[in-house]
Amino acid sequence: MVGGGSIGMRHIELTQTSEQTRLTAVVEPVEARRAELRDMGLPVVATLDEVPGDTRGAVVATPTPDHATSGASALARGMAVIVEKPVAGTLDDARTLVAAADRAGLPLFTGHHRRCHPFSLQAREALAQIGTLVAVQGCWSLRKHDSYYEAEWRRKPGAGPLMTNLSHEIDLLRFFVGEVEEVTALLSSAARGHEIEDTAALAFRFDSGALGSFLMSDAGASPWSFEAASNENPAIAGSGQDYLRLIGNEGALEFPSLTRWGRGAPGEIEWSKPLARTPGPELAAVDPLLAQVERFAAVVAGGSDDVLCTGADGIAALEMTLAAALSRHRGRPIRRGEVPGDYNGT
């Protein structure tokens, strides 16, 4: 484990829980934090050079600007790598990291763990039952507590919902719908009055021709978000309310409940005929971060996986997240391929 902060600790707990993994070291450069981790009984070291030689994989959970550096260092030492999202701070850094993995012939994944939920996997299958996808609509609105913003950096560019939360949504949309061709963003800071945005309205065009809209806010109180819908994060109250709707020419799908709306009568499906509602299946609850690390372990052991977010997938999610930020600055839609390699969203 590279990084002993809050996200790193979550991964540490899971690697100690899983029968498929053994924690060999926690790399933490800050001396005071190393002392705290040592007091917890963890095998803590200061640098990757001190990691035991039998270590076969690394999870990089450091601050975003360090992702590419630590990821490349782990690869150079023969370790397969998961880098927490986003894969890097800029496209240039992300591409350098992916190139390093290719040269080393080692697996590199990005920590977009939502793919590993059973309802995410089944959603892709359910989409085939609603015909040609026409549109997708999403809402992520969780009111963060006021004390969250006592840290000055959380009020500065790069720390709003656009750069903090959007990449998860884009990766999941790509997982379901396919490549994003362009994005347009409208931003507002009217609710909190900070330098950063507190609300963003986004419009997407996909390669398939489908369109999408997404509302994001960390100032608006609502039951609609992935975390509230999935009860994934113990720090966020659950609601059980769907936050994403996918619409096809033969029906619609609510997510993550997988409630499906479709043909309710013979003949053409059209607005005079009520749609039939089919409840989604009952699925066992899983910890997606545990599922992710166990899939990773299976790949390290020589297996293959078509669910984990690859380094290339991570680049695609990062590019369209940065494109949304660039759209705000340029006041127009930003297409794939337009984001400068050194742009970091601020």
253-256 long-range contacts, CB within 8 A, separation 24+ = 253/123, 253/126, 253/127, 253/129, 253/130, 254/280, 255/119, 255/123, 255/229, 256/117, 256/119, 256/120, 256/123, 256/226, 256/229, 256/230
Eight-class DSSP state of 41: T
- Of 104, 100, 102, 36, the closest CA to residue 68 belongs to 100
Instruction: Provide the pLDDT for residue 196.
Output: 86
Domains and CATH numbers, the chain: 6-110 (3.40.50.720), 119-284 (3.30.360.10)
Hey, is 247 helix, strand or coil?
Answer: strand
Model pLDDT for residues 71-111, shown as the tens digit of each residue: 999 999 999 999 999 999 999 999 999 999 999 999 999 99
Contact 233, 6 (CB under 8 A): no
* Nearest one of 182, 211, 180, 214 to 200, comparing CA atoms: 214
Residue 284: per-residue pLDDT: 87
pLDDT at 148: 86
Residue 155 pLDDT class (50, 70, 90 cuts):
confident
Question: What mean pLDDT is predicted for residues 131-148?
Answer: 95
The CA-based angle 238-243-249, given to 5 degrees, is 150
Rounded average pLDDT over 184-213:
94
Distance of alpha carbon 93 from alpha carbon 78, whole angstroms: 20
Antiparallel, parallel or unpaired: β 244-248 and 251-255: antiparallel
Look over the chain and give the mean of its residue pLDDT values, rounded to a whole number: 95
Q: What percent of the chain has pLDDT over 70?
A: 100
- pLDDT, position 285: 85
What local confidence, expressed as pLDDT, does residue 153 receive?
A: 77
pLDDT in tens, 283-328: 988 999 999 999 999 999 999 999 999 999 999 999 999 999 999 9
Cβ–Cβ contacts within 10 Å for residue 294, how many? 19
Tell me the per-residue pLDDT of 23-80, one tens digit each, with 9 for 90 and over.
999 999 999 999 999 999 999 999 999 999 999 999 999 988 899 999 999 999 999 9
